[in-house]
Chains A and B, each alone.
Chain A
């Protein structure tokens, strides 16, 4: 196989990852065995017409080439070889820090009761339980945290809530401080209802990007969900302002039982001024048991193939070594808890009020979480697609009550040899 193709074994299937095109190619056990032989430079004494046809197909797809004599084709990778990294560990570095300034929100969503810690969504807002008086309000403490993050080569801060713009004056000061410390990238998760001229000016000044969560296509649905009137109109107006002001933003439709029939309408409303590539669906999930998830979209929630991204050499090398989220990010709650992900509330590594961030990383299970690749997840480790799909550990852990559990995957049966993925390029 060519240098940009990786062959990954599964229990009874294999997958070729072409990091030059981003394709994942599913192959059955016999073909996997044949390719493993080729990759080991074992001469093919007897080869059937079918096998030859398969190899011809791969050559036609620019996945491999024939050679007259045994060749060694090494794989592309970037960075230090894992063998060397084991003894010369790279320094701690936090690529992206999620900062939760507050868990308060101006919405009172039916599926997000204040103080209820049950999680059935991926990263976004959540009114987590809080201890009275323990929210960090001291600007100097937050500045100190940002200073520590900057030393750890932090490239991006992401503000989440609750609704982070409820703490706009605090956020504004922190944006200035982050920039002064050399952290230039900012992302803000918001419900989109609180934008005003002052906030927009600030967003533009710091070149911040927004992730706006959309909950419906009309005021009535918004009221049913959030308990607040006329919020659809407000959010739609605000998003159109973002568009006209050339602010970078992404829209997330949070699909649930109350808005499951409005997705197309909402898309029609927002798409005239929003790049379709920047509109995506998120869901409320069925576990732990709740009445808010959309049965209509249940199939998509379990459809792992929809999370398969184009695999490039950087993402492949990263996924083979690190968890897709825990590997390079940290969450800091409003009360100062440090987490490998802002939604993984059970994995508290320490608290910034008691220790500095580096000591917390050093004295906790941080590196174990960082390296929680799919090779460690019980139901994924024998799946050949494990380096190509996205893993939301917070969601899976909440559904299974187990660090290495897996609920939302329709490929559990991929371990059987009689299934072939249709969404992949299959041979």
Chain B
């Protein structure tokens, strides 16, 4: 226990009950004052002194029993860890074959027919390079696929269960429909079980794509931010005109065709919100469209507030009277919808899937993995997702696709580069998160540290998580006190399908 420090976080629920989140094991246990005293004094006080204190100060009747309970936990590795000891994960040929996921993401083009206000290529994100006219040739795509398919085959021999997955990403990938068709044919010939995903802005969905998507069961994700006002204030054509009506028209065609053919092919939506969003209206929009969209799922995500002037621009628009909502809209509407959601699950009612998707984080916290942590905590292992840009360079993910190339289609994965990136990342975690009492609940990954061609610890993100995670802990455990089975009703089929998309 020499050098070991407490690595846990104590929190209270609404009722005033206290718990402790053990960052070492991932467990939460009830932690009234006497238990907390025991845990915090265990390593530097004698047993008899602790038991004596429990009896006198805390009026504890079974001090010996409680001591034994905590002793068992601590001896089994709970609560304490030595922050000076750091892990040095090495990504090698073996690691690459035993990843929990496997996908190739093709950045089909860097072109886009829209100019969304919060796009990372827009002027709102000055540190990230702008739009380009680069697009992927089939030759580049073919080489990337050949490389990935071989890698996937080896993964399968090493026990990976799922089919190869190809994701089309952009820019707007449907600006390269010809390439997409070639890729689909090529992959089908290589492995007929290949599954395809596409993330599109929806404005270019036409009959040709609809045929292709249906024939090949492509999992389509459309960026749709909610009702017309909410969507069109953010997602616009180059000429500034809103894209909502065009997307709805296209989606109507797509969904009608699927329904005509009796297909249960799921569609998913990426829906982004900012502080001016009325989230209740967004939820209502998707629920009102249920008949048309079903089966569907929605992923709601906050527009990245880091290293951007997007939110300053919003304030400016508001001051000029150009926004219908105010900057408290999100906070106010979120409290309302949260109350609705929690009320539903506490009373064993299944909330609407749209509402649920907002609070997916609660479900994941409740059902988090426990025991030994994965080597990079919640970040994916580089190469499990292999993102390829139009020039044929490999990146760890579609969101970290301009810096930190980790190889290319001609030379394959460059393990030196991968490990340099991993070491840099792990060093940042070690320096900044080593003593955090709930770091294993933080979803930090490479994406959050990328800045101007180097990895930099994201203080703003950290502060935000330090505020949010305790609130989520409080919310989840307050809910569970009211109904221990509150989250059990949320395991429906559509969630599984949707989750599969999420973890692609």
- Is the Cβ of A41 less than 8 Å from the Cβ of B369? no
Which one of B101, B158, B477, B496 contacts A152 once the chains associate, using CB atoms below 8 Å? B158
For the complex, give the distance between the alpha carbons of A92 and B367 in Å. 22
Which one of B68, B98, B370, B482 contacts A70 once the chains associate, using CB atoms below 8 Å? B482
Known: A67-B30, A91-B159. A83 touches B69 (CB 8 A): no
Known: A62-B68, A70-B15, A83-B491. A151 touches B367 (CB 8 A): no
- Is the Cβ of A91 less than 8 Å from the Cβ of B27? no
Known: A74-B27, A151-B97, A153-B159. A81 touches B369 (CB 8 A): yes
- Residues from 198 to 240 in A contacting B, C-beta threshold 8 Å: none
- Is the Cβ of B371 less than 8 Å from the Cβ of A78? yes
Instruction: Give the chain A neighbours of B69 by CB distance below 8 A.
Output: 2, 20, 62
- Residues from 470 to 504 in B contacting A, C-beta threshold 8 Å: 477, 480-485, 491, 496, 499-500, 503
- Residues from 121 to 151 in A contacting B, C-beta threshold 8 Å: 148, 151
- Is the Cβ of B159 less than 8 Å from the Cβ of A358? yes
Known: A3-B27, A91-B158. A84 touches B367 (CB 8 A): yes
- Is the Cβ of B481 less than 8 Å from the Cβ of A41? yes
Q: Does A39 contact B (CB under 8 A)?
A: yes
Q: Does A47 contact B (CB under 8 A)?
A: no
- Is the Cβ of B369 less than 8 Å from the Cβ of A84? yes
What string of 1s and 0s marks CB contacts (under 8 Å) between A51-69 and chain B?
0000000011010010101
Known: A73-B30, A79-B371, A84-B367. A152 touches B159 (CB 8 A): yes
- Is the Cβ of B29 less than 8 Å from the Cβ of A40? no
What string of 1s and 0s marks CB contacts (under 8 Å) between A73-88 and chain B?
1101111110110111
For the complex, give the distance between the alpha carbons of A160 and B498 in Å. 46
Which one of B100, B484, B491 contacts A90 once the chains associate, using CB atoms below 8 Å? B100
For the complex, give the distance between the alpha carbons of A72 and B479 in Å. 9
Which residue of B is nearest A65, CB measured? B30
Which residue of A is nearest B162, CB measured? A89
For the complex, give the distance between the alpha carbons of A20 and B372 in Å. 18
Instruction: Give the chain A neighbours of B500 by CB distance below 8 A.
Output: 87
Number of interface residues, chain A, beta carbon within 8 A: 41
Instruction: Give the chain A neighbours of B483 by CB distance below 8 A.
Output: 41
For the complex, give the distance between the alpha carbons of A80 and B371 in Å. 9
What string of 1s and 0s marks CB contacts (under 8 Å) between B57-96 and chain A?
0000010010011001000000000000000000000000
Which residue of A is nearest B495, CB measured? A87
For the complex, give the distance between the alpha carbons of A93 and B161 in Å. 11
Instruction: Give the chain A neighbours of B98 by CB distance below 8 A.
Output: 91, 153
Q: Does A71 contact B (CB under 8 A)?
A: yes
For the complex, give the distance between the alpha carbons of A3 and B73 in Å. 11
Instruction: Give the chain B neighbours of A2 by CB distance below 8 A.
Output: 69
For the complex, give the distance between the alpha carbons of A151 and B98 in Å. 9
Which one of B97, B159, B484 contacts A92 once the chains associate, using CB atoms below 8 Å? B159
Shortest Cβ distance from residue B421 to the other chain A in the assembled complex, whole angstroms: 24
Shortest Cβ distance from residue A97 to the other chain B in the assembled complex, whole angstroms: 13
For the complex, give the distance between the alpha carbons of A74 and B380 in Å. 27
- Is the Cβ of A67 less than 8 Å from the Cβ of B17? yes
Q: Does A401 contact B (CB under 8 A)?
A: no
- Is the Cβ of A86 less than 8 Å from the Cβ of B496? yes
Which one of A72, A152, A356 contacts B481 once the chains associate, using CB atoms below 8 Å? A72
Shortest Cβ distance from residue B234 to the other chain A in the assembled complex, whole angstroms: 30
Q: Does A362 contact B (CB under 8 A)?
A: yes
What string of 1s and 0s marks CB contacts (under 8 Å) between A38-52 and chain B?
011100000000000
Shortest Cβ distance from residue A359 to the other chain B in the assembled complex, whole angstroms: 9
Which one of A59, A70, A84 contacts B62 once the chains associate, using CB atoms below 8 Å? A59
Which residue of B is nearest A21, CB measured? B72
Which one of B62, B100, B364, B499 contacts A91 once the chains associate, using CB atoms below 8 Å? B100
Total cross-chain contacts (CB, 8 A): 102
- Is the Cβ of A87 less than 8 Å from the Cβ of B496? yes
Instruction: Give the chain A neighbours of B17 by CB distance below 8 A.
Output: 67, 69-71
For the complex, give the distance between the alpha carbons of A389 and B484 in Å. 28
Q: Does B188 contact A (CB under 8 A)?
A: no
Instruction: Give the chain A neighbours of B178 by CB distance below 8 A.
Output: none
- Is the Cβ of B161 less than 8 Å from the Cβ of A89? yes
What string of 1s and 0s marks CB contacts (under 8 Å) between B156-189 and chain A?
1111111000000000000000000000000000
For the complex, give the distance between the alpha carbons of A383 and B236 in Å. 62
For the complex, give the distance between the alpha carbons of A236 and B161 in Å. 48
For the complex, give the distance between the alpha carbons of A40 and B162 in Å. 38
- Is the Cβ of A70 less than 8 Å from the Cβ of B156? no
Q: Does B210 contact A (CB under 8 A)?
A: no
Instruction: Give the chain A neighbours of B364 by CB distance below 8 A.
Output: 84
- Residues from 1 to 38 in A contacting B, C-beta threshold 8 Å: 2-4, 20
Instruction: Give the chain B neighbours of A362 by CB distance below 8 A.
Output: 161
Shortest Cβ distance from residue B306 to the other chain A in the assembled complex, whole angstroms: 28
Q: Does B41 contact A (CB under 8 A)?
A: no
Known: A41-B481, A153-B159. A83 touches B367 (CB 8 A): yes
Which one of B65, B97, B158, B370 contacts A79 once the chains associate, using CB atoms below 8 Å? B370
For the complex, give the distance between the alpha carbons of A73 and B28 in Å. 8
Instruction: Give the chain A neighbours of B29 by CB distance below 8 A.
Output: 3, 73-74
What string of 1s and 0s marks CB contacts (under 8 Å) between B23-39 and chain A?
00001111000000000
For the complex, give the distance between the alpha carbons of A91 and B17 in Å. 39
- Is the Cβ of A358 less than 8 Å from the Cβ of B156? yes
For the complex, give the distance between the alpha carbons of A151 and B28 in Å. 36
For the complex, give the distance between the alpha carbons of A171 and B263 in Å. 55
Q: Does B321 contact A (CB under 8 A)?
A: no
For the complex, give the distance between the alpha carbons of A84 and B368 in Å. 9
Pick from A20, A72, A88, A92 the residue with the most CB of B within 10 Å.
Answer: A72
Instruction: Give the chain B neighbours of A87 by CB distance below 8 A.
Output: 496, 499-500, 503
Known: A70-B482, A358-B157. A88 touches B370 (CB 8 A): no
For the complex, give the distance between the alpha carbons of A97 and B371 in Å. 26
Q: Does B16 contact A (CB under 8 A)?
A: yes
Known: A59-B62, A62-B69, A88-B503. A151 touches B157 (CB 8 A): yes
- Residues from 28 to 55 in B contacting A, C-beta threshold 8 Å: 28-30
Instruction: Give the chain A neighbours of B371 by CB distance below 8 A.
Output: 77-79
Shortest Cβ distance from residue B24 to the other chain A in the assembled complex, whole angstroms: 13
Shortest Cβ distance from residue B441 to the other chain A in the assembled complex, whole angstroms: 14
- Is the Cβ of A91 less than 8 Å from the Cβ of B161? yes
Which residue of B is nearest A76, CB measured? B27
For the complex, give the distance between the alpha carbons of A90 and B98 in Å. 10
Instruction: Give the chain B neighbours of A152 by CB distance below 8 A.
Output: 158-159
For the complex, give the distance between the alpha carbons of A69 and B27 in Å. 21
- Is the Cβ of B160 less than 8 Å from the Cβ of A40? no
For the complex, give the distance between the alpha carbons of A214 and B477 in Å. 56
- Is the Cβ of B369 less than 8 Å from the Cβ of A80? yes
For the complex, give the distance between the alpha carbons of A119 and B68 in Å. 47
Instruction: Give the chain B neighbours of A40 by CB distance below 8 A.
Output: 484-485
For the complex, give the distance between the alpha carbons of A50 and B62 in Å. 21
Which residue of B is nearest A69, CB measured? B15
Shortest Cβ distance from residue A39 to the other chain B in the assembled complex, whole angstroms: 7
- Residues from 263 to 301 in A contacting B, C-beta threshold 8 Å: none
For the complex, give the distance between the alpha carbons of A67 and B101 in Å. 43
Instruction: Give the chain B neighbours of A60 by CB distance below 8 A.
Output: 62, 65
Shortest Cβ distance from residue A273 to the other chain B in the assembled complex, whole angstroms: 33
- Is the Cβ of A79 less than 8 Å from the Cβ of B157? no
23 intermolecular pairs with C-beta atoms under 8 Å apart: A20-B72, A59-B62, A62-B68, A69-B17, A70-B17, A72-B480, A76-B370, A78-B370, A79-B371, A83-B491, A86-B491, A87-B499, A87-B500, A88-B100, A89-B162, A91-B98, A91-B100, A91-B160, A91-B161, A148-B157, A151-B159, A152-B158, A153-B159
6 nearest A-B residue pairs (beta carbon): A92-B159, A78-B371, A72-B480, A91-B159, A81-B367, A151-B158
With A86-B491, A88-B100 already in contact, 7 other A-B pairs whose C-beta atoms are closer than 8 Å:
A41-B484, A69-B15, A71-B481, A73-B30, A90-B100, A91-B160, A92-B160
